[in-house]
Amino acid sequence: MTRAERGAVGGGVEPVLRVEHLGKAFGRARVLHDLSFEVARGEVLALLGANGAGKTTTLACILGIVPFEGTVTVGGVSVRREGKRARHQIGYVPQTPALREGDTCREALRFLAELKGAAAARADELLARVDLAAQRDQRIGSLSGGMRQRLALAAALLADPPVLLLDEPTTSLDAAGRREFYALVRQLRGEGRTIVLSTHAVDQLDTLADRALILHEGRVAFDGTVAELGARSQRRRYVVSVNGTAAAFRQALRDAGIDASHVREDGLRWEDILTEAAGGGHEQPAEGAR
């Protein structure tokens, strides 16, 4: 059964998360303008955009941590009216590790399991799942950044929530940490979890997400499938292998005496597509071509 099939219970694709006319201002600065989107059950939505586009604020509103305008429902439960019940249906991984450093991994998970009404045994089960069984009695302060984020993911999964919100979870991680974390996210995607993933890891977009929502200055700049996003651009990218330096290549182009050993059409980089979709510059010359 595919995720789409799982989502189509009862005939239509059932939105598990619904955001309608979401607005948010901090003092005079308005950071979200009338956002509306839905996330279907089993769907992975990549929330994209530059720093300050409003991704983290959107997630904070979904969690009900900050007051907001508009309506947010999780599994049909209003975040504004029944915040606690709505949060029961959300597992959240913040941008930076936010678990108490003095606690051991097990203590932290058991406390959160109690809060979420999950069995204490789930703590050990999930520590094993995120490959932290050996560190279970270790203090969180002594863990690496990657381990802490995997622990936060374990915490988010404690009550087996219908929705996972991952807020740029790999920002503070090195390449190995990012790989490990996204491998776990891919596993969760394969299990048909509903995930909202705020991320900058656009190079892995097609393997991580079904849909993309691009925010630009607090407004929706694009909302569609990852495939639609990829097809949206008419631009093409070429990989050119040059015999010589970039300066020599430019010189060669100028003189129209091109000496390229191989030129082939290639897929666009996701960064280019997103920049274009978010309303950024149409042509970003490569560094070496300036």
* Residues in contact with other proteins by the rule CB under 8 A: 60, 63, 65-67, 83-85, 87-88, 90, 92, 94, 96, 98-100, 102, 111-112, 114-117, 159
Phi and psi at 221, nearest 5°, equal -95, -25
Q: Tell me the closest approach of the beta carbon of residue 248 to other proteins, in angstroms.
A: 50
Tell me the C-alpha to C-alpha distance, in Å, between residue 81 and each of 26, 67, 84, 104.
21, 11, 9, 34
* Smallest distance from other proteins to CB 101, Å: 8
- Least distance CB 182 / other proteins (angstroms): 21
For other proteins, give the closer residue by CB, 65 or 240: 65
Neighbouring C-beta atoms of residue 269, cutoff 10 Å: 12
Q: Which of 117/281 has CB closer to other proteins?
A: 117
Q: Compute the least distance from the CB of residue 117 to other proteins, in Å.
A: 8
Measured distance CA(208)–CA(87) in Å, rounded = 24
96/251 with CB nearer other proteins: 96
Query: Alpha-carbon distance 171 to 3, whole Å?
Result: 28
The least CB distance from residue 176 to other proteins, in Å, is: 24
Whole-angstrom distance, CA of residue 145 vs CA of residue 174: 8
Of the candidates 234, 280, 215, the residue with the CA atom closest to the CA atom of residue 33: 215
CA dihedral for 126, 56, 60, 89, sign (positive or negative): negative
Closer to other proteins by CB, 111 or 180: give it. Answer: 111
Shortest separation between residue 56's beta carbon and other proteins, angstroms: 10
C-alpha gyration radius of the chain: 22
